[in-house]
Amino acid sequence: MKKKSVVFGSLIPVFIFGFIISLNSDEFDSKFMMGEPFHVDGLNTNESTMIMDYVYDDVTGDGILDDVILAGSKDTPDSLYSYDVNIFVKDGQTDSYLTITSTDEYYPNGFSGYISKIDLYDFTGDQVKEVLLIVGTGGTKSGPRAFISSFKERKPVVIFGMEENRGIDFEGEYIDGFKANLISSKLNKTITLDLSARKEEYIEKGWYNSAGKLLYSNATAETYGFFDVQVYDFEFDGVMDLKTSQFIGGIPAELLSTLESVWKYEDSEWVVVRATYTTHLVDE
Ligand SMILES: [Ca+2]
Ligand SMILES: [Ca+2]
């Protein structure tokens, strides 16, 4: 008897959940469809703007579902590259639009790059979801940029933006003993990379002598932008964080180390709560 009631109890919410979803999808599918044109007077849209992604969820925090739309332009429908891409939220309570656009001076009409979708997560811990947009740049020194926008209380604001996308800022130079010394002002840390896995190569190239004396007078090193950004739940508390990866590169061009960091949103700012870097043991 006990077993039966458990089964019955678990069936009810599944049924109701599915019912609600199907009702809502009938209602909103006709309003915003991916691939369809999107043009609203007064918004940063034009004849070529189309819907690239669409999510129906509450992002303002009032409990009323909102239309969350990613829209932009492509030269051909199957092109991976998009431009003039913006996030538009049609507030479920007032039917008015809230928007987030790029703050990049080179792309004043919106984000530009390899963009395909938006994802909603609570990064701030207030039970209201923020909107994550990943912009692939296709650059050699930096990969994706992540932008996180909040529409809470109908106030659109980017909480993870250009400044955060600079990542961790190690820079420094090669020193005697097949090493490189780097300092990060953001972390207030100094690291010494062991480059001895490349000892033979460096001696052959004349960058170091066999005693480990540095001969290359302007060998510097620095971190590049993110090459990977992942959503990550650091404390398994349902509040999401970001895990990012950066290369530390030497000049002349060579990869010295990989830096991985976890970013957590605390008291209105992003704090690096974990950072690790790699050392090459063998590098032929
Ligand atoms: Ca809402
Ligand atoms: Ca939140």
Closest residue by Cα to residue 72 from 129, 113, 42: 113
Sheet containing strand 145-150, strands side by side = 118-121, 130-135, 145-150, 157-160
**Ion ligand 1 residues within 5 Å by Cβ:** 58, 60, 62, 64, 66, 92
* Cα-to-centroid distance, 56 and ligand 1 (Å): 10
Return the residue matching tokens 């950066």.
246
Domain spanning 17-164, CATH architecture: Beta Barrel (2.40)
Ligand 1 centroid vs 265 CA: distance in angstroms?
22
pLDDT, one tens digit for every residue, the chain (284 residues): 333 333 333 333 333 333 333 334 444 445 899 999 999 999 999 999 999 999 999 999 999 999 999 999 999 988 999 999 999 999 999 999 999 887 667 777 899 999 989 999 999 999 999 999 999 987 666 689 999 999 999 999 999 998 999 999 999 999 999 999 999 999 999 999 999 999 999 999 999 999 999 999 889 999 999 999 999 999 999 999 999 999 999 987 899 999 999 999 999 999 999 999 999 999 87
- Give pTM, 2 decimals: 0.85
Give the domain ranges of the chain.
17-164, 167-277
Residue 50's closest CA among 59, 58, 38? Answer: 38
